[in-house]
Amino acid sequence: MEDSVALVTGAASGIGAAVARALGERGATVAAVDRDAEQLRTLVDKLRADGARVEAFAADVSLASEVEGVVREVERTLGPLHSLVNAAGVLRLGGVRDLTDDDWSATFAVNATGVFHTSRAAARRMVPRRRGAIVTVASNAAGTARMGMAAYAASKAAATAFTRCLGLELAAYGIRCNVVAPGSTDTPMLRSMWHDASGPAATLRGDPEAYRVGIPLQRLAQPADIADSVLFLLSDQAAHITMHTLTVDGGATLGC
């Protein structure tokens, strides 16, 4: 990672922030992208105080023009892009009969279309250089049905399929594209699903009425756990891995 340039979306909090920190600690110059400019600035200030080389770029990944503008500015100011991490994500809960058109479109706009926008912009620049690595942070819900999470699961499944197809198209240029599929991770998104102090224990235990097993390892993932997996797939240690999904969920999907 030393002296490379990495762009991380959704970098203001949660898994994206952990990835940005991990990359910075390993010597990369990080372009931290998020639509929450204020929270992004707070994150960047913390990372800089710890010695990381990181710059903030406010953008909404659902808007192609903003993404193209940010990627262009990143390369102009920081240098050629080596890595992209698609970590931006939103969650709209609800049964299918209760989901609104806005719930569905807003979820796909970030979780799927946003991945398309950033990956396309990065790939156009990586291909002539014949190098690069892209990792999309999806979810174990992409391959396992979850009650009340149809929009989220479907959007993550779309992002997973897209990333694999992109990996096939870019393989001839030496560019690898992989997916990390986290399970329950201690982030603001997960905490938004809890209604009281019993939330963590309930997540570990599972919910038979919702056909959801618990977590066999009996611990919630920390954002750093997911970041470590992302960095592995970006690194030369994964030089012969592409179009792969690495599930990081403590066994919650029973290895499926």
pTM summary value? 0.96
* Amino acid at site 231: L
Structural domains in the chain (count): 1
Whether residue 211 is contained in a domain is answered as no
Q: What type of residue is 178?
A: N
The CA-based angle 64-69-70, given to 5 degrees, is 100
Q: How would residue 193 be classed by pLDDT, with cut points 50, 70 and 90?
A: confident
Asked if pLDDT for residue 199 goes beyond 90, the answer is: no
Q: One of 57, 108, 152, 162 is an active-site residue; which one? A: 152
In a domain, 154, yes or no: yes
What CATH number did the domain enclosing 242 receive? 3.40.50.720
Residue type, 179: V
191 has pLDDT over 90: no
Does 59 map to a domain?
A: yes
Q: Tell how strand 212-213 and strand 206-207 pair up.
A: antiparallel
pLDDT at 194: 85
Domain containing 118: what range?
A: 5-186+223-248
User: Which of 147, 140, 139, 142 is closest to 211 using CA atoms?
Assistant: 147
Residue 111 lies in a domain: yes
Residue 22 lies in a domain: yes
Domain membership flag for residue 255? no
Distance, CA of 51 to CA of 32 (rounded, Å): 15
In the DSSP assignment, the letter for residue 144 is S
Does residue 134 fall inside a structural domain?
A: yes
Told to judge if 152 belongs to the known catalytic residues of this protein, a careful annotator would answer yes
What pLDDT shows up at residue 200? 86
**47 SS3 class:** helix
Query: Which residues does residue 84 pair with via DSSP β-bridges, in sequence order?
Result: 7, 134
Q: What is the mean pLDDT of residues 134-154?
A: 97
51 in the Ramachandran plot: left (φ > 0), alpha (ψ -120 to 50) or beta? left
Q: Does a structural domain hold residue 113? A: yes
